[in-house]
Amino acid sequence: MVSKKAVATGGAVTVVVVVVVLSVLLTPRTAKFKATFMKRCEAYGETSHICEQTLATFEQAYVGKDHSDFSEGNYDQLFAETNLKHPCGKTMFWSKREDLIHKFTGKGDCFIALKDTFLGHVLDGLKWCGKEGNKALSSLSASGKKKKSQYEELHVKPKINPVTSFWNKASAKFAQHACGHVTAMLDGERKEPYDPKSFFGGVEVPNLQPSKVTHLTVVLVGKESGCTCESLGSLRKDLHQSIGCTCKAVARSHVEQCIEENTPCGACW
């Protein structure tokens, strides 16, 4: 937007042309989103240069693209530049237990959940979208009050938006990175703890690499009696036959006690 204003200077009239960048005026949410992205990135331990570069690559994935039918491949470059670096033997999957999982993994370095990774930490709870053909303007938002993460709320869908697409891609990469003995925390208070349409069942289980992963331990929180992988719906069928599977029932109060006492790895179940 361009505006003109006449300014009197010593009898002469000078025309001052003020150029206002329209996208800056119209997208305060974009500025808030970028500030949140940078703050979380730097808090994770990355330099401002790396954070700016990652943000630029992230924006290239969706700005100017149709948000209603969005390809996961748009994030290929982002994930190529931000490879997972955590020990793959500490991988912790989960479904419907966000109230416990991040308190549990956040107490030490025993387990790593997707949210504990670089991109998971930076983008958890945020929403973003682009507009087809519009390279200069993007609509982004960072909710003031944190709700459940998109990783927990969203399910696999035939048509996916930029947010769902990102978590599908991140979940697949997270599972492909896993190796050795991996763990999954599920909600034993649900009638069907294993949901084949969740991110864990629909994305992560199919992407576990049988050449790398030897065993999966399912921790069923809130169930008092024993359990087996065969009792968890289609889990044993969905899991590659060469990957061993064990199910352990653990009371919620016991997990909470482990969090409070910072129980060493493996001792909680």
Q: Going edge to edge, which strands form the sheet with 92-95? A: 92-95, 180-187, 213-221, 244-250
Q: Decide if pLDDT at 211 tops 50.
A: yes
Q: Does domain 27-261 have CATH number 3.40.50.720?
A: yes
Contact indicator for 213, 182 with CB cutoff of 8 Å: yes
Q: Decide if pLDDT at 141 tops 70.
A: no
73-91 pLDDT per residue, tens: 999 999 999 999 999 999 9
Strand pairing report for 2-9 and 12-19: antiparallel
Query: What is the domain partition of the chain in residue ranges?
Result: 27-261
Q: Which of 42-51, 52-61, 124-133, 152-161 has the lowest mean pLDDT?
A: 152-161
Locate 223 and state its tokens: 């169930």
Average pLDDT over residues 110-139: 82
Q: Decide if pLDDT at 18 tops 50.
A: no
How far apart are alpha carbons 64 and 109 in whole angstroms?
39
pTM above 0.85, yes or no: no
